[in-house]
Structure formats: C-alpha cells, structure tokens
Chains A and B, each alone.
Chain A
C-alpha cells in the first residue's frame, strides 16, 4: 500500500510518499510511522496511544477515517493512506 504525506508531515518524513506492506488497520500504520519517525509520536497518535492525534487528518482512499471505522479502519495492499496536519485555506 501507499502512504502519502502533505504539509509539515512531508518535512518530518522527508519524503512525499512511500510503499509499505499493509498493517491490519490505521492504528497499526500510525504506530509503524511513529517508530520510523519518532517526531510523529506526539502528532498522529493521541496520548492514550489508541486514538488519532487531535490535529491530524488521515484519509484512506480519499475518505476521512471518521467516516469509516476511525483508527480501526482496516487496510489492505493497494490502499492509499494520506496523512497531513490540520490545514485550512479558501
């Protein structure tokens, strides 16, 4: 599966995207990312270690995980996960 980063998360990962074997769900992926890039730790996972960080946006195949199964949204190879911090414009 593909993981894409935007805004400041791209700077943390120092890449636009990368391929990874799909973990079971979004939470699993977030933990993988935190291990790989520790700077993500206090951003994409909440202090309880079991929910999404308050200022993070995660999309699975373009859908916000809040409209799927949250961090328990299951993942499969072929999926695209997008991560970015809270942004706005207009």
Chain B
C-alpha cells in the first residue's frame, strides 16, 4: 500500500538459494539520506555485502531500486537502478535504465528488490501485484533478450520484462540487464551477476498507485519543470528530431572524436556518414520515449532487407555510433546499426564491445594478435569484421571468448594492457580526453570506471549547457566536475532521466523531490545528498581495493597529432589535485574523516 510520500514503503527480498521471499519495510531514514535508486540501492548494498565479494559469485547481491519520483508524473520519471559489485571493474556497479519497468515495479507495490544467493537451476521472478512466484526458466535459458521477452509476455500476459541474454548467462564481463527489449542497465557487466545467480528474468505487472505527499505543490513544480523542458531547444525539439547521434559531427568538428583506439588523431573524414543527420535521412522509422517522457530521444530503426545488415530495432545512441563506427574507422551506418541490434538482442554494452574491437584492431595491425587467433585478417575500417566480431562475442564463439572479457583483459592477454582505452578496466566512451580536459578528469574519477554519465562535462565544455567553458583549459574543472557529479548522483537517485538536466537544473529537481516526499529541505541540502552518495561509492571502492584514479598512458603522453586540440594531452595531475581539494579529500584522493563526518558517513 502506498504510504503517500512517493514511496510504496516496501522492499521485496528474494533468496534464490532457498527459493523463498518476503517483504520488509523500506528503510525510510536511508531513503531520506540517500534519496533512492542509485543512492539508496548502493546504501543497501554497502550495508549488506562485503566489498571484497567476488563479483561473479552468488554471494554478490543484486539490487533493483527505484527512486521516489519513479512512476510519478514528474519529468521523465521512468528510471530505476540496478546495483551490484561490477564484474568488469570490481567497483560499485550501478547501472541506470529507463523504459517502463521501474514504474511498473512501484505500481506492483515494491520500491525495490534485493536478490540474494543463487538458484540451482534457471528461474525467473514473477510479480503480479502481491502475487509472487519463482518460476522455472529452463526453457528460456539460451534464448536472446527479444525472444525471452516475447515468450514471457506470451506466458504471463501484459507484463514488463527485465532479463539477460546468453551473454549474461555465460558471464560476459560487459553483459547488460535489458528491459522491454532495448532499454539497458548497460555498464559494468551486471547481466553476468544475474547470470551467475541463474536468474534469467524479472517479470512485473502492477496496478497500484504511487502517491505523492503534497499533490498541489507537486503539480505546481512539475508543471514548471515540464514547461522548461518543452521550451528548451534541446529537450523540447532537438533530441526528438535527431537523438543522441546528433553529437557525432560536432565532436568531430571540435577534434574530440576518439579514433582507432585513440591512436589515430581526432578528425574522422567520414563522420557525417554515421551521424544523427544521416540516420534521420536513412534508417530512422520513428522516435520513441520512455515512461512519462516528452523528450522522446529514442530511435526506432530499420535496415532494409536487401542489405547484408538487414534488421529492425532501436538505436544506435551516439556512444554506440562512435564505438562501432568512428573508433573502428567504419563509415557504414547500416553495419553500425546491425552491431547495435546484436548488442540489444544478446544483452551487451556496445561502448565496451566496440572499444574492445577497436583495441583488437590496433593489436592486430601491430602484429600483437596472430591472425590465427581471430580467424581472419582484422584491420581498421572493416565493417564486415565489426559485425562478425560482434556476433562472435554474442555467441561466445572463437575469438569472441576473449572479446567478452573487455579490452583490458584481452589486451593484457597479448601483453599490451596499456593499449586498453579503459579506466578501472571499463572502456571510456566517445570523447577524447585530450581534447576535453574536464572529461579526462571525469573518466579518471568516475566511481564505476571510464564513464561519461557520472559527470557529463561535455555539456559545459562543448555544448555550452548551462554555461560554456573552454575544453582546452584545466582551471576550474575540478569544482565544475564536482557539481556535475553530485547533481548527477541526485538525478539518478530521484528516478528521473539525466537528459532532463540539459534543460532544467537543481531547482526543478529539488522542487519536484520536495513536494513528492514532503520535505522542506533547501536545494543545497538536497544537493548535499548527491555528494553523500558520491562519497559512499568512493568509500566502497577504497574498501574493495580499486586502483587509484588515472588514465591510460596514451592519453597522458601521446599528444593529439591534428585538429583544434593538436598538441594536447590530458593534463590530469593538475586537475586531480584541484578536484581532491574541492571534494575535501586527501591529496591521495581519499575522503577525510572530517568529510565523512560532515556527510554523516563516519
């Protein structure tokens, strides 16, 4: 029963080892202190799980957590988080997804689900309001995400499905948890945590309400926020028209498109061929939105039947467009789409896979990988090879068994770990850290390894949102990044989409949050919760023995050979010192006792 402060007030705990489950009250103090979704899921995880737990063991817990705004009428409030220790990085693993699954979970009467242990055979969790069953999933094991989803809808009726594909079952270190076929809790390999537990899927149908604390105030705040979102050129019309792929050309123009695994400069002559503009002219069927979202940035795409890459699905997003395209020197948009379709169908993170293929291309060209290991010649620019390797990885075939370890472990296998373009073993996405200094700092300090969406510095450094800063300078980036990281932690935790922050900011997030949960905290008090979440994640990583904040040596030593950022390397050390000081941490990057005390984490 909804408690009336945007929370349901109930967490479902499932012991997969014994096949039993029960409900318990949501820990309201923690919900207040850590907001929800990413923050609250991480708090539960840190309280219940040893930081040194082996990620691919049944002792690793897996937590689905919604936010207070998830499932409400707030702006783009369809988000939820999955939390576990990440197999790819060994860091806290928190992956955010949209669609409709998160709201449906709350409608069913649960703020979150905590999975413990592991089943002795494949199972799926069936939730239909207060009816809960652990059902046999033997018939689904080995099936891809799309087939699994279709079969579960056939079996269970009008339900939302979150599931893994064969890659998650097999332990691929960047396997995703997919919901509604093409939405992904994508990074860090959380699909493999689900796989090791023999948990194939979570199926949910809910019919209950989500009640907010102060309906009139909530309506006032969301109306204001929606007006801002709809009037803004990016969130109002731009993202619906072109999707995230619109970034391809501008990142190329500013000389920040990583090419050839970071080896090949930063200007791709064929960027327009794989751009958002090109996608809109060719394979775009329609745009699509998640629960309660007016931005509707999703791309539904179709490659015609007469193409060798024929297919139908969603995407690519900009990051996948870059990883399978520019990073591999592939200018065939159909091939890029096909590789992305395969990722969705088999449940893989396309950022890590595309970057791992680019790394393999460089190693192959320098003779570090024998052709016999791959099975065919591998060079940059080969679109067929990208699709073929994507399929091999999806099916765990041949060289695909090495690809599914990610670029760090694959490159290490061939004696060249330094050529993995990763941080804490997770591949960096589509922005060259030498051309955008603040994103270099973000990659190095992200609590889940190389990642852009923990503090999206591209917004101020390239796009001018909400202010324009120079991407080539380091001054002030520590402070700016801290603000972005804390605000993002808050945004991820309330349960709304990060893309709303292209149009709105802290006042609109805090305003909706306050009225939904019935709080009278100031904007600053609410932002402080984001900082608390960041420090909680950091403290977990330290206890888990995660390596210190740095970047691949290539980005620190090899200057960009051309383009607007010609001659630049990532000037990390200067920015790190500034950043640690702004965070109130030691010069070694560790939160001080005083800082932890201030954040009530002592």
Chain A residues with a Cβ under 8 A of chain B: 4, 6-8, 10, 16, 55, 57, 59, 61-64, 66-67, 82, 84-90
Say whether, besides A4-B253, A59-B254, A85 and B563 are in contact (CB < 8 Å): no
Q: A61 — which chain B residues lie within 8 A by C-beta?
A: 564
B239 at interface by CB-CB < 8 Å: yes
A-B pairs under 8 A by CB, number: 92
Tell me which of B239, B317, B452, B453 contacts A88 (CB under 8 A): B239
B499 at interface by CB-CB < 8 Å: yes
Interface string of B554-593 (1 = CB under 8 A from A): 0000000001100000000000000000000000000000
Check B465 against A88 for contact (C-beta < 8 Å): yes
CA distance A90 to B233 in the complex (A): 16
Interface string of B457-475 (1 = CB under 8 A from A): 0110011110010101000
Check A90 against B277 for contact (C-beta < 8 Å): no
Say whether, besides A55-B233, A59-B253, A87 and B468 are in contact (CB < 8 Å): no
Closest residue on chain B to residue A87 by CB atoms = B246
Q: B254 — which chain A residues lie within 8 A by C-beta?
A: 59, 62-64
Chain B residues with a Cβ under 8 A of chain A: 233-235, 238-239, 241-247, 249-250, 253-255, 272, 275-277, 297, 317-319, 452-453, 456, 458-459, 462-465, 468, 470, 472, 498-499, 502, 563-564
Cβ distance A28 to chain B, nearest Cβ, rounded Å: 21
Q: A82 — which chain B residues lie within 8 A by C-beta?
A: 250, 253
Closest residue on chain A to residue B565 by CB atoms = A62
CA distance A8 to B459 in the complex (A): 19
28 contacts between A and B (CB under 8 A): A6-B277, A7-B241, A7-B246, A8-B241, A55-B233, A57-B250, A62-B254, A62-B255, A63-B564, A64-B462, A67-B472, A82-B250, A84-B249, A86-B233, A86-B234, A88-B235, A88-B238, A88-B244, A88-B247, A88-B459, A88-B499, A89-B239, A89-B244, A89-B245, A89-B247, A89-B297, A89-B318, A90-B458
Check A86 against B463 for contact (C-beta < 8 Å): yes
Q: B241 — which chain A residues lie within 8 A by C-beta?
A: 7-8
Closest residue on chain A to residue B234 by CB atoms = A88
Interface centre among A59, A63, A88 (most CB of B within 10 A): A88
Cβ distance B96 to chain A, nearest Cβ, rounded Å: 12
Say whether, besides A62-B253, A64-B464, A16 and B453 are in contact (CB < 8 Å): no
CA distance A50 to B276 in the complex (A): 31
Check A89 against B249 for contact (C-beta < 8 Å): no
Q: A64 — which chain B residues lie within 8 A by C-beta?
A: 254, 462, 464, 468, 470
CA distance A59 to B254 in the complex (A): 8
CA distance A31 to B3 in the complex (A): 59
Sample of 14 further A-B pairs with CB below 8 A, known A16-B272, A63-B254: A6-B250, A7-B276, A64-B468, A67-B468, A82-B253, A85-B233, A86-B238, A86-B464, A87-B463, A88-B234, A89-B246, A89-B318, A90-B319, A90-B453
Check B238 against A87 for contact (C-beta < 8 Å): yes
Closest residue on chain A to residue B241 by CB atoms = A8
Cβ distance A36 to chain B, nearest Cβ, rounded Å: 21
Tell me which of B272, B463, B499, B563 contacts A62 (CB under 8 A): B563
Cβ distance A25 to chain B, nearest Cβ, rounded Å: 19
Cβ distance B140 to chain A, nearest Cβ, rounded Å: 33
Cβ distance B494 to chain A, nearest Cβ, rounded Å: 18
Cβ distance B350 to chain A, nearest Cβ, rounded Å: 14
Cβ distance A68 to chain B, nearest Cβ, rounded Å: 10
Cβ distance B488 to chain A, nearest Cβ, rounded Å: 11
Q: A66 — which chain B residues lie within 8 A by C-beta?
A: 464, 468
Q: A57 — which chain B residues lie within 8 A by C-beta?
A: 250, 463-464
CA distance A59 to B470 in the complex (A): 12
Q: A90 — which chain B residues lie within 8 A by C-beta?
A: 244, 247, 318-319, 452-453, 456, 458, 498-499
Q: B255 — which chain A residues lie within 8 A by C-beta?
A: 62
Tell me which of A10, A63, A85 contacts B277 (CB under 8 A): A10
Cβ distance A41 to chain B, nearest Cβ, rounded Å: 16
